[in-house]
Amino acid sequence: MDAARERSLGGIYAFTAYLLWGFLPLYFLLLAPTGPWELVAWRILLSLAFCAILLTVLRGWGRLAAIVRQPRLLLWTALAGALIYVNWQVFIIAALTGHVIETSLGYFINPIVTVVLGVLVLRERLRLTQWIALALAAIAVGVIVVGYGAFPWVALTLAFSFGIYGLVKKRLGPSVDAVSGLTLETVWLVPVASVILIVVGSTTGLTMGAAGPWHAVLLCLVGVVTAIPLLLFAAGARRVPLTVIGLLQFAAPILQFIIGAWLLGEPMPLERWIGFGLVWFALVVLTVDSLVFARRGRGVSDVGELT
């Protein structure tokens, strides 16, 4: 397969992943009356089951065993599991309690958080335009806090948990493939999911199988719905330049914003519009800077791909 076709295929994979992530709030709302704690527990266990099937079909158990024999990699996957649990739990709580717009803000802020983490963790030096983008984002959060009267903890938790998760995955690099990585991350979370199901079952009661066959089918598919976008993203990221991934990633929060603001009718007072406007302007500055810097760095060749 020629390079141009590979890039096109990679773009389709990555865009499809972000498209599916964008529609996730609607899927979770279909799962009512399942609450956010039970839902995330089933998401963990059923994702693990789906990954086990994939490992069998793709004959990946050998790769998984090789990773298990390396304690350093195991520890990194444990950290990745903890971060993705926080991300999933906060996202689902927000989606089911009328805060979809704030989830979109979190993923709009995520690229800016990635820049912050690059400075704090990787000791990278910022260019002037990156400093401007960070300042605009900080002002945006301040506007939302002061004007809207609430600290955007959902947005910032999602942005930082997923940003740090990305750093951990980058640290793992090619040593851990996508299916093995998600398998191990969910294995670490099995005790958490088990405790949640025990507590929910002994208090409000589990909804699996109690809300009709259609609901049971949708709930059983939550593992597939979780794993497929992650695998599509991994397949796309290997084939297209990082700058393309950077542009495509805005598809998910744009869809979430549209769903929250227009489909679900969540409030968007003036203060929120101003805050979001500042974040969007910061993203334009950051994206243009990234494209210009990448063009200068690569000449006529593509920038390095995301690993």
In this predicted structure, what is the pLDDT of residue 217? 95
Name the CA dihedral angle for 69, 75, 77, 79, rounded to a multiple of 10 degrees: 170
Q: Which of 49-58, 78-87, 242-251 has the lowest mean pLDDT?
A: 242-251
Residue 87 domain-assigned?
yes
Give the model's confidence band at 1: pLDDT under 50 very low, under 70 low, under 90 confident, else very high.
low
Rounded Cα gap, residues 47 and 172, in angstroms: 20
Name which of 158, 289, 305, 304 is nearest 233 in CA terms: 305
Would you say how long the chain is, in residues?
A: 307
In this predicted structure, what is the pLDDT of residue 11? 85
**What sign has the CA pseudo-torsion 242, 288, 121, 106?**
negative
Query: 243 versus 126: which is more confidently predicted?
Result: 126
In terms of Cβ atoms closer than 10 Å to its own Cβ (0-12, 13-18, 19+), residue 78 is: middle
Rounded Cα gap, residues 211 and 217, in angstroms: 10
Instruction: Give the pair of three-digit tokens for residue 281.
Output: 């302007």
Instruction: Give the pair of three-digit tokens for residue 80.
Output: 């990745």
Give yes or no for residue 242 having a pLDDT over 70.
no
In this predicted structure, what is the pLDDT of residue 300? 41
In this predicted structure, what is the pLDDT of residue 299? 52
Query: 263 versus 239: which is more confidently predicted?
Result: 263
Spatial CB neighbours of 258, under 8 Å, sequence gap ≥ 6: none
Residue 307 domain-assigned?
no
Q: Which of 32-46, 97-111, 181-195, 222-236 has the lowest mean pLDDT?
A: 222-236
Rounded Cα gap, residues 262 and 270, in angstroms: 16
| pTM: predicted TM-score of the whole model, two decimal places | 0.87
Give yes or no for residue 214 having a pLDDT over 90.
yes
**What sign has the CA pseudo-torsion 151, 116, 234, 297?**
positive
In this predicted structure, what is the pLDDT of residue 306? 31
Per the rule left: phi > 0, alpha: psi between -120 and 50, beta: everything else, 113 is alpha
In this predicted structure, what is the pLDDT of residue 86? 97
Domain that holds residue 17: 3-298
What's the average model confidence in pLDDT over 254-268?
92
Residue 303 domain-assigned?
no
Residue 306 domain-assigned?
no
**What is the number of domains present in the chain?**
1
Q: Which of 150-154, 159-163, 262-266, 294-298 has the lowest mean pLDDT?
A: 294-298
Rounded Cα gap, residues 264 and 296, in angstroms: 43
Query: 158 versus 291: which is more confidently predicted?
Result: 158
Give yes or no for residue 305 having a pLDDT over 60.
no
Residue 112 domain-assigned?
yes
Q: Which of 33-42, 140-149, 212-221 has the lowest mean pLDDT?
A: 140-149
Mean pLDDT across the chain, nearest whole number?
87
